[in-house]
Amino acid sequence: MQSTGVRCGDGLAVDADLVPAAEAATAEALAALDGAVPDLAVVFACGPEPDELGAAMVRAGELTGAATVVGCSAPGVLGGGRGIELTSSVSVWVARLPDVSLRSFHLEVLRTSETIAVVGMPVRHLDDRVAMLLVDPYSFPVDAFVEQAAEALSGLPLVGGNAAGLRGAGSTRLLVDGVLHDRGAVGLVLGGSLVHRAVVSQGCRPVGPTMTVTAAEGNLLLGLAGVPAVTKLEELLAALPPQDQAMVSGGLHLGVAMDEYVDEHGPGDFLVRGVVGVDRERGGLVVGDVLTVGQTVQLQVRDAESADLDLTTLLGEVPTGAAGALLFSCTGRGAALFGTPDHDVRAVGEVLGTGGVAGFLAAGEIGPVGGRSHLHTFTASVLVLLGGPTTT
């Protein structure tokens, strides 16, 4: 007989009229539950008109029958084993989650002349496992919130990403339990008996040796292994094979070790940050994060092959029994990197051996690395739900 477990379904529809797309995607997602009413529905929509986006998201949520519904607009959606970029479409993900607690929320920013406060986060419960966060980056301080989450939320891991509308600031739409918002962030805390894994694939391959930061000011890296950072970088680049040199010309990244006391560093041990500029006058590199003396760093390069290997390797470490997954993949990882927007959603389903995989293309992805949540770029952040139906 079949025992009760977590069950997930996903559906995706493309249509210039978003409400029919929402209806079709919802029907496809619900079919996987064989008539059962989902406990949770997550809706993602892409389209040019904010009001139509909102109407489609609300309609999808209503049709699922789920008591808890969250969602957002995005520049692309993932589901049904495919990705759709910059085209009117809706993706719907549903889940039966026995013995899992769900608490949805909307975060708002209160500003005074001197401070910014974020309000609306549910009180932390002892059995909380993970939180999902969908953010309007134009109105919400996502970088600061995510970086402070370890202390503010007592180590609760965060996954999710930056939502967006196709018309920039003001066009983002966020959905929580039938109510639309155009500012702040929405999300969900999952707890109780939930068994999950958070996978963050930064898609990079290390090159050259690991080095110690010997001088730094804020996000300006001034010294590596006792040598001015620019000088050391030039030395390292000259020693790389031509193929890696060509990749570096397309964008250089720096991996910051989460634990500098580890004897050998491997995949997942580094937080990857972009090298965004050079300060020739001081011989320093401008990095997309604050660095401190004593940290261990290593140059990183990214290409389609490295990104594919990193994702499949990390997914391969997830225990068997995946019931589904929510995927937050960078807009730069779709057709721009792989030649197809389908790559990440297909890889997640194939490696985990499950359906029920959906998500959206984000302009900034949230996920834990080294025990702390971070805001990433060019990353695939995956929330895998374990404990699917078994037969005995």
Distance CA 99, CA 122 (A): 19
Q: Is residue 225 part of a domain?
A: yes
- What confidence score (pLDDT) does residue 208 get? 85
Tell if the pTM clears 0.85, that is, is over it: yes
User: Residue 274's pLDDT is what?
Assistant: 86
Amino acid at 229: A
- Decide if 381 contacts 199 (C-beta within 8 A): yes
Question: Which positions of the chain have pLDDT values less than 50?
Answer: 1-3, 390-392
Count structural domains, the chain: 2
Beta strands at 205-217 and 227-228: parallel, antiparallel or unpaired: unpaired
Nearest-angstrom CA–CA distance, 380 and 218:
27
149 lies in the same domain as 296: no
CA distance linking residue 331 with residue 342, whole number of Å? 12
Q: What is the pLDDT of residue 316?
A: 95
Do 159 and 101 fall within a single domain?
yes
In 3D, which of 147, 286, 294 has the Cα closest to residue 219?
Answer: 286
Q: Would residue 51 count as lying in a domain?
A: yes
Whether residues 170 and 279 fall in one domain: no
Q: Which of 72, 89, 92, 85 is nearest to 165 (CA)?
A: 72
Which residue, of 261, 280, 301, is where some domain finishes? Answer: 301
Predicted local distance difference test score (pLDDT) of residue 391: 38
Q: Is residue 363 part of a domain?
A: yes
Whether residues 234 and 89 share a domain: the answer is: no
- Examine residue 108 and state whether it is found in any structural domain, yes or no: yes
Give the residue from 301, 328, 353 where a domain finishes.
301
- Decide if 144 is inside a domain: yes
Alpha helices in the chain, H assignment, sequence order: 18-31, 50-64, 142-152, 229-239, 242-249, 304-316, 335-338, 343-352
Cβ pair 362, 162 in contact under 8 A:
yes
Residue 2 located in a structural domain: no
Tell whether 257 and 311 lie within a shared domain: no
Do residues 33 and 125 both lie within one domain? Answer: yes
- Tell me which residue of 22, 24, 33, 28 sits closest to 10, measured CA to CA: 28
Q: Which among 75, 64, 143 is positioned nearest to 359, based on CA atoms?
A: 75
Domain end, chosen from 301, 320, 337, is at 301
pLDDT confidence of residue 263: 64
- Say if residue 158 is in the same domain as residue 119: yes
Please indicate, yes or no, if residue 391 is contained in any of the structural domains.
Answer: no
Q: How far apart are the first and last CA of the chain?
A: 5
Is residue 392 situated within a structural domain?
A: no
Residues 48 and 169 in one domain: yes
Same domain, 259 and 340: no
DSSP 131: E
Domain span including residue 47: 7-201+307-386
Q: Are 294 and 155 found together in one domain?
A: no
Please give the pLDDT value at position 268.
66
